[in-house]
Structure 1
Amino acid sequence: MADKQPPSAPAVEPAAPSAVHGASLLIALQIASRAATFIANQLLLRFLTAQLLGVATQLEVYYLSVLFFARESLRVAIQRQGGREQPQEETSKGSKKGSKGEKESDTSSSSASSSQSAVNLAYVSILLGSLVAMLLGWLYLASIHKTSDEDGSNNHDHPARSLAETTPFLVPSLYLYALTSVIELLSEPAFVVLQLRLQFGARAAAESVATVLRCATTLGAAVLATRLGGSSNRGLDIGVLPFALGQLAYGVGLLAVYAWHGAALARRDGFSLFPKRLTGQYALQLFDRPTLHLASSMSVQSIVKHVLTQGDTFLVSALSTTTTQGVYALANNYGGLAARLLFQPIEESSRSYFSRLLAEDGNATEKTENKDAKGRKKAGNASAERAARDLQTLLKIYLLLSLVVTAIGPAAAAPFLGLVTGPRWANSGAAATLAAYVWYIPLLAVNGVAEAFVASVATEAQVYRQSMWMGGFSAVFAGAGYVCLRVLDGGAVGLVAANGINMVCRIIWCLVFIHGYFSARGVSFFGDATTSLMPHPLSVLAAVVTSTAVRRFVPVVAAAAGPVAQITQLIKIAVLAVPFVLTV
């Protein structure tokens, strides 16, 4: 924001390098934190059954749902607010009225007011989160106390029992997840200000500390439980309690680090991390009216988006057993590893980048309103052309990565899973699900960056129309899921197929929107799609040849084969992949 640059510097100049630096930092953070989480999870798998992993996935969805409904739409709206306010600060700095000291004071005051407005809005997230945590917690409690027959048999000697009865410490774990969601939301006032100021280092420190605490606590609880069992080989059965304790440690770590950095920034720039009344056109003298209105209009879209994002978990919970849910969760965790490591940080940074870049585009058009039409069009299209080039670059890189993933990923799924999880999980059907998920990763990547662009530039009316379309796509997803899971009995693989159908629908809608957006500004986004976006024909041919060679020359080893055979198979696949990667 403006306080990070000298008063004479244009506010929009650091947007691109700051966003690139932020994306790089977040990617590095994600790699480190996910590596730690990955190692911890591999150790935890030795203590888990498929059913416990399925229940842990349900609790995680509950936790993520509380956070998503409470803060997602407000976060996006606050970022959009930050993008709009930059040109105002620049105009203030460019004014010829008053002395240089007066202009610096106005800029500082505007920056503090903007930060305080964002802090006040963050407390709406805390209130919403508390209410949503109670509501969703009550619904989940009602569902886990219903009796069910896990294996599908009607055995009178072993009557069906509820999930709460078959899973130790499930209810206390649910309460801990609810408490943790509120604790994490308490860090939101500091987070939104640090995000607006592009303080990515504070976020990296917070998530690193929190991740280490979560891994250490989860593993420590699981190992301690095995030792408390005395002579029992299985130890003390504490169910999913280690996950709940680990998540609590994560929330406390986030709050502590964000509060530390946020308090330092507040002291320096003269705002408060607590709600504070503001002068001007603010609702209840606290909340920025346009931002609050935009957030409320985006809330419906956020609900639909979350249902679509977590819809696979909701659907598999309704149509399958917790054991099947655990198998799908395992494949989903490994299959989505690339998305969490690489795609998610790029998506978040690109959303912030495009918001600032194209907000400046609109401001440039306003500043030239007294010039001729040709001058206005030239000023208005400059940033749009740059945004189109950057978005094309991202999409083409994603498509090239998709070639590599889909050419060698399916064959490597089984030996990889058998190596890291052991034969018990490899025999569960997770390997076939992971191989199918590989084909879903490219759709996930393209959709992520496309929806990030739409969120950056869409008007309230366009957001509403998107919500309506997303509602239709959710119905398509539910229908596809029912056919794949119940009619075709496709299991977790069928669920991946249903997700793919849904994701294709969302991508098509976003591409149509993007084409219309740039066309309205006289910029051709797609142009010659063959040369601008699609990979070179030789790269596609190399992918087909490599995939065929892997299937023909690399024998499939049994799931119960030892680690030597699995490592050998992975090495053979890697050797065949080297010339392909060089060709691409």
Structure 2
Amino acid sequence: MEKNTGLGDDETILKKSTKGVTFLMFGQLFGKVLTFLLNNMLVRFLSPRVFGINAFLEFLVSTTLFFSREAVRLSTLRIKTPRATENENDTQDTHGPVLQMALNFAYIPLCIGIPLSLFLIGWQYSNLNDYFISLPYFRLSILMIWLSIIFELLSEPFFIVNQFLLNYKVRSQIESLSMISACAVNFAMVYLYESKINGSGATLHNVSKQEGIAILAFSVGKLAHSVTLLGCYYYDYLTKFAPTKQFTVIPSKIHISSGTTPFYLQSDILQHFKKVYFQLCFKHLLTEGDKLIINSMCTVEEQGIYSLLSNYGSLVTRLLFAPIEESLRLFLTRLLCVTSTKNLRLSMEVLINLTKFYLYLSLIIVIFGPTNSPFLLQFLIGSKWSSTSVLETIRIYCFYLPFLSMNGIFEAFFQSVATGEQILRHSYLMMVFSIVFLANCWIFISYYKMSLEGLILSNILNMGLRIAYCGWFINGFYKNLFAGSHNASFLVNFKNFRLISVISCVLIFFNWYLFGTVKNFRQFTFNLILATVLVIFILYKERKLIRSYIKREDTLDVKGV
């Protein structure tokens, strides 16, 4: 049986991370398909105004959770065994204290989240439109949202332990169950009200109550998600961890040896947490800045349109890119705890291959996204959205996706290897990027009246700056480690990409000249054939890389037997 230590060698970490991508990807796929189906069923019942306020409530939840827990999640990955052991049998002696260290840190999010959630919800509630405050059940909905935040933060200790042990399967299963409960509750409340209570005619069809029920359904769904999350994680703890008594769910002092002072929080990890937290504040302002801007500069209807674009337009990004980025961050952080030459070369190889994969997928999105996305989207939305600009805006949104995805893996690398001083330096730079982003938003949205198109363009420029900085950091990181070595050259690994880029440019002009924006299934089918041919050509040009990856996986499986 495999030891559940999470402290294996580089090959074990790579294998766990590779499998972790699969678990997270399928978990994301299941959740997004479920959400996708739910939105398609609800979009015909609800107006853009309701989608807008639900997006606002989702923003409150995500903002509070991010500022409460993200820095802890990143910092605890750097916890190391307090003492080096030469005997493999000593691993179990230090395994318990390491997990207890991680769990102690996991209570910081709750300490931050309770006051932060009260402040954010109270502040935003006072600025809401009187129309929404007067809706039936709206205050109850706000209470449900706050409770969902608290319950989700209570599950954080269990999440941190499973993350440290790279237990991707457990996490994906629990999150999938939580999504099912949230979607089931949300849809059931809206559907039962629409089919059993809300009727036709002025006396029966109450628009105000209909919108109040829809918002309450969303809030209760979020609470169901959090309660399910906490319940499943606690059950997993009782069945797998509690019998071994390696750690307790209550924070407790760590006793390493008789010659050391007991402590709750490891000092170097605590210092790293403070620096990461400072940096993440500015990162979140940039990453979620579009939501901050849209709440202040755009109407509620435009917020609903942008929410729809985020759900549909970034589907590929969240299904495929997000699991890869998270697994990369966990893999690099654990791998580079020991900066041996072998580990450094492996990290560089993984990063190069992932970058190439992202570039190829970005090419496909840029070529076929703007021409096909309006045609696909028009079948997914009802008549209430026909008068909006969503079909035109999604074409521009497609150009934003490659920047969003590439920034994800570059910043995942930076967060995994940067020192405390480098993180602080990056934080100051993020302040500058924040100012540039806000200035661009004012210019494009307020001055040039570009609305959502201006917001998307501001995001593209923002991501471009962040990619440039992280690219410069990555180049310097490996250049210093492999000075004078040909293995550090990134350009030689991208010769196939340059050829495929030229072919892709030809495809763009050819496709646009023939059809422009796709208007029927015949044109869509032709685009699908072109995309398939391009994918086959990419696979052919990169066949050696694919074979080497398959061979490595087979080797790892044999070693694991």
TM over 0.5: yes
1:113 aligns to 2:113 (yes or no): no
CA contact (8 A) 2:356 2:497 kept: no
Q: CA separation in 1, counterparts of 2:137 and 2:297?
A: 24
Q: CA separation in 1, counterparts of 2:384 and 2:488?
A: 51
Q: CA separation in 1, counterparts of 2:131 and 2:93?
A: 58
Corresponding letter in the other structure for 1:110? T
1:276 aligns to 2:244 (yes or no): no
3-state DSSP of counterpart to 1:286: coil
Q: 1:484-503 to 2 correspondence within 5 Å? A: 484-503=444-463
1:246 alignment partner, one of 199, 213, 221: 221
Q: CA separation in 2, counterparts of 1:63 and 1:535?
A: 43
Deviation at 1:409, TM superposition (A): 0.5
Q: CA separation in 2, counterparts of 1:525 and 1:428?
A: 54
Q: Give the aligned partner of residue 176 of structure 2.
A: 208
1:141 alignment partner, one of 125, 148, 164: 125
CA contact (8 A) 1:5 1:11 kept: no
CA contact (8 A) 1:418 1:425 kept: no
Q: CA separation in 2, counterparts of 1:429 and 1:33?
A: 27
Q: CA separation in 2, counterparts of 1:18 and 1:527?
A: 26
CA contact (8 A) 1:416 1:570 kept: no
2:31 alignment partner, one of 23, 30, 33: 33
Q: Give the aligned partner of residue 551 of structure 2.
A: none
Normalising by structure 2, report the TM-score. 0.89
Q: What do residues 392-443 of structure 1 show as CA deviations (whole Å, max 9, x unaligned)? A: 1110110011111110100111111101113442441111221111111111
CA contact (8 A) 1:40 1:219 kept: yes
Q: Give the aligned partner of residue 291 of structure 2.
A: 313
1:257 aligns to 2:232 (yes or no): yes
Q: 1:22-421 to 2 correspondence within 5 Å? A: 22-81=20-79, 84-85=80-81, 91-92=84-85, 94-95=86-87, 104=89, 106-144=90-128, 161-165=130-134, 167-226=135-194, 227-231=196-200, 232=204, 236-237=209-210, 238-263=213-238, 264-279=240-255, 285-361=263-339, 380-421=340-381
Corresponding letter in the other structure for 2:139? V
1:4 aligns to 2:25 (yes or no): no
Q: Give the aligned partner of residue 155 of structure 1.
A: none
Q: Give the aligned partner of residue 535 of structure 2.
A: 581
Deviation at 1:59, TM superposition (A): 0.6
Q: Give the aligned partner of residue 465 of structure 1.
A: 425
Deviation at 1:3, TM superposition (A): 4.3
Q: Which runs of 5+ in 2 are unaligned?
A: 539-561
3-state DSSP of counterpart to 1:533: helix
3-state DSSP of counterpart to 2:337: helix
Deviation at 1:556, TM superposition (A): 4.6
Corresponding letter in the other structure for 1:134? L
Q: Give the aligned partner of residue 449 of structure 1.
A: 409
Q: CA separation in 1, counterparts of 2:280 and 2:113?
A: 14
Q: What do residues 3-26 of structure 1 show as CA deviations (whole Å, max 9, x unaligned)? A: 4369xx964441110111111111
Instruction: Give percent identity, aligned residues only.
Output: 28
Deviation at 1:233, TM superposition (A): 5.1
Corresponding letter in the other structure for 1:181? I
Closer/same/farther in 2, CA of residues 537 and 109 from structure 1, 3 Å limit:
closer
Q: Which moved more, 1:269-278 or 1:446-455?
A: 269-278
Deviation at 1:267, TM superposition (A): 2.4
CA contact (8 A) 2:99 2:247 kept: yes
CA contact (8 A) 2:372 2:517 kept: no
Closer/same/farther in 2, CA of residues 525 and 22 from structure 1, 3 Å limit:
farther
Q: What do residues 537-559 of structure 1 show as CA deviations (whole Å, max 9, x unaligned)? A: 442233223322332333657xx
Q: Which runs of 5+ in 1 are unaligned?
A: 96-102, 146-160, 362-379, 558-564
3-state DSSP of counterpart to 1:421: coil
Closer/same/farther in 2, CA of residues 187 and 71 from structure 1, 3 Å limit:
same
Closer/same/farther in 2, CA of residues 541 and 448 from structure 1, 3 Å limit:
same
Normalising by structure 1, report the TM-score. 0.85
Deviation at 1:285, TM superposition (A): 3.3
Q: CA separation in 2, counterparts of 1:63 and 1:451?
A: 23
CA contact (8 A) 2:27 2:172 kept: yes
Q: CA separation in 2, counterparts of 1:427 and 1:135?
A: 37
Closer/same/farther in 2, CA of residues 569 and 423 from structure 1, 3 Å limit:
farther
1:514 aligns to 2:477 (yes or no): no
Q: CA separation in 2, counterparts of 1:66 and 1:233?
A: 36
Q: CA separation in 1, counterparts of 2:478 and 2:250?
A: 41
Closer/same/farther in 2, CA of residues 419 and 346 from structure 1, 3 Å limit:
same
Q: CA separation in 1, counterparts of 2:279 and 2:443?
A: 26
Q: Give the aligned partner of residue 509 of structure 2.
A: 548
Corresponding letter in the other structure for 1:309? T
Q: CA separation in 1, counterparts of 2:491 and 2:383?
A: 44
3-state DSSP of counterpart to 1:413: helix
Closer/same/farther in 2, CA of residues 534 and 453 from structure 1, 3 Å limit:
farther
3-state DSSP of counterpart to 1:359: coil
2:390 alignment partner, one of 430, 435, 452: 430
